[in-house]
A = this chain, B = another copy of it.
Amino acid sequence: MSVNLHRMKNGLRIVTENMPGLKSASIGIWVNVGGRHERLEQNGVAHFLEHMAFKGTKTRTALEIAETIEDVGGFINAYTSREMTAYYARVLEDHVDLALELIADILLNSTFDANEMEIERGVILQEIGQANDTPDDIIFDWLQEASFPGQPLGRPILGPSERVRAFQREDLAGFVEEFYGPEQMILSAAGAVDHEAIVAAAERLFGDLPARPPRKAEPGEFKGSERRVEKDLEQAHFALALEAPGYRDDRIYTAQIYSMALGGGMSSRLFQEAREKRGLCYTIFAQAGAFSDIGTLTIYSGTSADDIADLAGLCIDELRRSADDMSEAEIARARAQLKAGLLMGLESPSSRCERLARMVGIWDRVPPLEETVEKIDAVTAQGVAAYAAEMCDAGKISLALYGPVSSAPERTELAERLKK
């Protein structure tokens, strides 16, 4: 497999990887903008804009956008994260050009029709309602807010309903003007794709975009705080975060190994203690999530009202124990899991395409797989212990609790227990 990277004159970057044997492709534009680029009064605009891309261009109605891609059996979709907005398609090999032309159209020629905007407002309000009705979804928004309070990085991507109700056409157009420059766009494609053909098509479609300086988001700063919402639910939902490294920091691999051994699989300490030995929960996991400059190590679980205090204490104790006595065997296993997961993920064109875009966005290059594997192999038990002890000793945790959670311990109490 071969990765090709090309930078257009206006700064738009193109990264492709041909995967021999595949008959389909994943292709999209990843725009380096998301919720964390919004000012307070803009909160929700990045996501609203992403929705409006599908609501009509100068030459296509919303129905025609959908028909163009579905007529050839493909599909098109988009998502907004805290620092990326992605517009991508999955198609069979003969339709890669068509998919790219359509993505360019919805990205560059969206009309933001006022009537369509009113309709889409209703759709997004329902999307917010759906998230609010799903405890193990909304709790992660609250945890993010508790981790980065008062910061753009802490705000919900969908935005508050009041703002979604108020946005006008100018808010969307202004956001495009500010953030959708070619230097913030990465065209990524993987699968049955031809680099030269994609570069040629991209020059034609995006070549006229004027270069302009890219806009950066303000750095995130992890703070410990809490959001606790009492509700009549069957489970007491619990989410906890510690600070973790961002993508640009090589210690990210140390954090990933720590979180994998702590709560990444069935053999992990949290799974073994909370589920296998105690039967307290069905779901429990830890994961190290990253943004470009900072990240969070997150634990999530759900249990009964009677057991929430126990479960919260157990999570803290396992965080601490994992800092103090993680074995070489556990570290070796976590390394194997991380590497195999990486390799298996790369067999899918969608995840490969997304990874290419992310790496170009962070490092402006695609590190060879061997380089990533070397970095994972370089993580030692001592390194994990040092990192974990530093995190635990700082005792800076954020919490989100939802459901019958009145007997959950105070955050300060859990933080003290973590430090000792």
Contacts and interface: CB of A to CB of B under 8 A. Distances in A.
Contacts of A118: 279
B343 A71 contact: no
A391 to B, nearest CB: 23
B282 A130 contact: yes
Contact of A333 (B71, B119, B237, B283): B71
Give the number of times this chain occurs in the complex, counting copies: 2
Nearest to A232: B232
Interface string A47-77: 0000000110000001101110011111110
Given A21-B21, A71-B336, A90-B344, A126 B267 contact: no
A234 interface: yes
Given A70-B337, A234-B132, A92 B344 contact: yes
B90 A129 contact: no
Interface in A209-267: 233-235, 237, 265-267
Contacts of A340: 24, 72-74, 91-92
A129 B72 CA distance: 42
Interface in A37-55: 54-55
A290 to B, nearest CB: 21
A76 B279 contact: no
Nearest to A234: B129
B344 A347 contact: no
Given A72-B336, A73-B341, A92-B344, A126 B281 contact: yes
Contact of A235 (B133, B332, B344): B133
B23 A304 contact: no
A35 to B, nearest CB: 18
With most chain B CB atoms within 10 A of its CB, the pick from A119, A126, A235, A338 is A126
Contacts of A406: none
Given A24-B344, A63-B272, A121 B70 contact: no
A332 B72 CA distance: 9
Contacts of A73: 336-341
Contacts of A341: 73
A123 interface: yes
A132 to B, nearest CB: 5
28 contacts: A62-B276, A63-B272, A65-B266, A66-B272, A67-B333, A70-B267, A71-B332, A73-B341, A75-B265, A75-B266, A76-B266, A91-B340, A92-B343, A122-B278, A122-B280, A123-B279, A124-B282, A126-B235, A126-B279, A126-B281, A129-B235, A129-B282, A129-B302, A130-B234, A133-B135, A133-B302, A133-B403, A134-B135
A-B pairs with lowest CB-CB distance, top 4: A73-B340, A122-B279, A66-B267, A66-B266
Interface of A: 19-24, 54-55, 62-63, 65-67, 70-76, 90-92, 118-130, 132-136, 233-235, 237, 265-267, 271-272, 275-283, 302-304, 332-333, 336-341, 343-344, 347-349, 403
